[in-house]
Amino acid sequence: MLKTNIKKQLMAIVGQERFFDDDETLVAYSYDGYVVESRPDAVLFPLATEEVSEIMKIADQHRVPVIARGGGSNLTGGTVPVEGGIVLNFTKMNRILEVNTGDRFTVVQPGVINANLQKELSKVNYFFPPDPSSMGFSTIGGNVAENAGGPRCLKYGVTGDYILGMVVVLASGKVIRTGSCNVKDVTGYRLSSLFCGSEGTLGIITEVTLRIVPLPESYRTIVAYYNNLADTAETVKAVLAQGIIPTAMELMDKVTTNLVEDNAGLGLPREFEGMLIIEVDGVSEAVSSQAEKISKIAKSFGAIEILEAKSSQERESLWKARKSVHGVLSKLAPNCVTEDATVPVSKVPEMIIGVRAILDRHNITAGIVAHAGDGNIHPVIITDTRDTEEWSRVETAAAEIFKLAVELRGTLSGEHGIGLAKKQFLPLVLDENTRELMSVVKKALDPAGLLNPGKFV
């Protein structure tokens, strides 16, 4: 509970209609897509940078934690108020302020839903490449704070590659502006990169300027089935080595295709060890020749069966199979934990085989999918957190998966971030000096530790 005087001061900023501290609201903001829960003391819906700045000043004065929140879709506990405090919920601060096709940028408020931005941009034949599977309900603020990625980031890069500038409210309540609307801009430190991926621990993002890209003219989508997982990685490597950068190269292992078939019956063949979905986009002539080359490569590296989507419906149903994995698996048990370790592309088969062995050893049910083109592996584990014995096996397996990733020169997280879920594993990847520097940066920006406390630093 906030003290009455603090509550009064906050209400004076956002009014009664955008301040809540009833039990129902506090429960609704006690969770995100992860398993841990903890209630905040109040939930506020800011609409403008100035309001956020005023709120921050009061929080600073009274030493109250502040947690920025977008769609609450992160999978790592990034928005869980483990030390209570104020949740700043950005869903109502959701205007697209400018779409500039001539200069290829857009300016948005943090609460804009990714898919809504795509919809607006498509009207002028543009798009914003980062496409997390959660794009229908995650916000640009959350995408930026998590440096989110998605299948087509293989070709186009992740959220961080599209940030030209931002407006950030610091822990003190001061407002800063990073970057500009220019693609080329080396004026000063690249502060946008500091805040991108900082999971709300360094500052509150209240406006973002993003680079946008014209929509491609056409797509070709190929699916290839393999008897040997290692062959998939050889295919991926060879495709890239030929200078073809597909929009996406997605891998599903046998357990996953079978689980999908058991539960959704989409008609995927069950007998193969691995399946790759490869998509190219661009000018029609170019993508046709690329598609042919890819089929040849797949064949030469052992693909048993190669099919191409003949219509946009066939393309959609392939992607549906891929995107239904999380859903299909979560039907099977109360909780679904998606790990996110990433390894160099050449290590993908070794990683998948290793992960499967770990899962089997601990008797855990999981499907494995991967953004194979960038080595981002998602074991999708199904479990019941109420079963403490099983949950501890899941935790042990996760720790072993991280260790394996690091041994293969990989990293903890490719896109989901650290939050609470992976905090304890940071030392596996970051040495003491590096962690110390992170602490120095955190202290410099947030000396009282008010911004999203308890999270990765």
Partner 1 sequence: MKSRDEIFRCGKCGICIQTCPVYQEDLNELTTPRGKMQLIRHYCEGDLASSRHLQQVVSKCLMCGGCTAFCPSGIDHESIYMAMRKNMQEDHGEDWKKRIFFHLLTHEQQLKFSAGLAAKGQNSFFEILYKDIKLGNIKLSVMPRLNKKPFREAAPEIWLSETEKARGTVLYFVGCSTNYAYEKIGHAVVKVLKAMGLKVEILADQVCCGLPIYLKGGLETARQNIEKNISLFSRDDVEAVITDCATCGSALSSGYIKVMKELGGDIAAAEKLAVKSVDISRFIVRHFDWLKDKINPEARRTKVTYHAPCHERNHGGSHAALKLLDLLPNVEYVPAEDFDQCCGGGGTFFYDFPEISKKIVDKKIANARATGADFWVTGCPGCSINLAGNLDKEDHIRLIHPVELIADSLEN
Part of the chain binding partner 1 (CB under 8 A), chosen from 156-164, 254-262, 277-285, 321-329: 321-329
Q: Which amino acid is at 152?
A: R
Part of the chain binding partner 1 (CB under 8 A), chosen from 67-75, 201-209, 234-242, 275-283: 67-75
Size of the site for ligand FAD (CB under 6 A): 36
3-state secondary structure of 327: helix
Q: How far apart are CA 201 and CA 438, in angstroms?
A: 11
Q: Judging by DSSP bridges, how do beta strands 66-69 and 86-89 pair with one another?
A: parallel
Q: How far apart are CA 305 and CA 226, in angstroms?
A: 7
Quickly tell me which residue has 């040495």 as its tokens: 431
Residues 6+ apart with CB under 8 A from 23: none
Nearest to 416 by CA among 142, 108, 114: 142
Part of the chain binding ligand FAD (CB under 6 A), chosen from 57-65, 74-82, 311-319, 382-390: 74-82
**Neighbour-count burial of 286, counting CB atoms closer than 10 A to its CB (0-12 exposed, 13-18 middle, 19+ buried):** middle
For the CB of residue 315, give the shortest distance to ligand FAD in the complex, in Å.
Answer: 18
Q: What is the phi/psi pair of residue 4, to 5°?
A: -55, -40
Does residue 386 interact with partner 1 by CB under 8 A? yes
Q: Which does 78 bind (CB under 5 to 8 A by kind): partner 1, ligand FAD, none?
A: ligand FAD
How many residues in total does the chain contain?
Answer: 457
Q: State which of positions 12-41 bind partner 1 (CB under 8 A).
A: 22-25, 27-34
Nearest to 175 by CA among 44, 58, 45, 50: 50
Q: State which of positions 418-457 bind partner 1 (CB under 8 A).
A: none
Residues 6+ apart with CB under 8 A from 278: 221, 222, 223, 224, 239, 246, 248, 249, 250, 294, 298
Q: What tokens does 304 get?
A: 């048993």
Does residue 165 interact with ligand FAD by CB under 6 A? no
Part of the chain binding ligand FAD (CB under 6 A), chosen from 34-42, 142-150, 274-282, 390-398: 142-150
3-state secondary structure of 371: strand
Mark residues 334-353: x for contact with partner 1 by CB under 8 A, - for none: xxx-----------------
Q: Judging by DSSP bridges, how do beta strands 213-214 and 218-226 pair with one another?
A: unpaired
Q: Which does 53 bind (CB under 5 to 8 A by kind): partner 1, ligand FAD, none?
A: none
Q: What is the phi/psi pair of residue 60, to 5°?
A: -65, -45
Does residue 143 interact with ligand FAD by CB under 6 A? yes
Does residue 330 interact with partner 1 by CB under 8 A? yes
Q: How far apart are CA 290 and CA 231, in angstroms?
A: 19
3-state secondary structure of 340: coil
Residue selected from 71, 246, 373, 453 as contacting ligand FAD according to rule CB under 6 A: 71
Q: Which is nearer to partner 1, 17 or 389 (CB)?
A: 17
Nearest to 250 by CA among 391, 406, 374: 374
Q: How far apart are CA 289 and CA 291, in angstroms?
A: 5
Residue selected from 62, 82, 83, 91 as contacting partner 1 according to rule CB under 8 A: 91
For the CB of residue 17, give the shortest distance to partner 1 in the complex, in Å.
Answer: 11
Q: State which of positions 129-168 bind partner 1 (CB under 8 A).
A: 134, 136-137
Neighbours of 270 (CB within 10 A): 10
Does residue 328 interact with partner 1 by CB under 8 A? yes
Residue selected from 39, 315, 347, 416 as contacting ligand FAD according to rule CB under 6 A: 416
Residue selected from 9, 53, 79, 94 as contacting ligand FAD according to rule CB under 6 A: 79
Part of the chain binding ligand FAD (CB under 6 A), chosen from 16-24, 65-73, 210-218, 247-255: 65-73
For the CB of residue 92, give the shortest distance to partner 1 in the complex, in Å.
Answer: 5
Mark residues 226-255: x for contact with ligand FAD by CB under 6 A, - for none: ------------------------------
Size of the site for partner 1 (CB under 8 A): 36
Residue selected from 141, 246, 349, 410 as contacting ligand FAD according to rule CB under 6 A: 141
For the CB of residue 185, give the shortest distance to partner 1 in the complex, in Å.
Answer: 33
Quickly tell me which residue has 């397996």 as its tokens: 397
Q: How far apart are CA 324 and CA 332, in angstroms?
A: 13
Q: How far apart are CA 412 and CA 456, in angstroms?
A: 12
What is the contact surface with ligand FAD in residues (CB under 6 A)?
32-33, 67-75, 78-79, 90, 110, 132-134, 138-139, 141-143, 145-146, 148-150, 199-200, 204-205, 326, 415-416, 452
* Binding stretches for partner 1 (CB under 8 A): 22-25, 27-34, 45, 71-73, 89, 91-92, 94, 111, 113, 115, 134, 136-137, 324, 326-328, 330-331, 334-336, 386
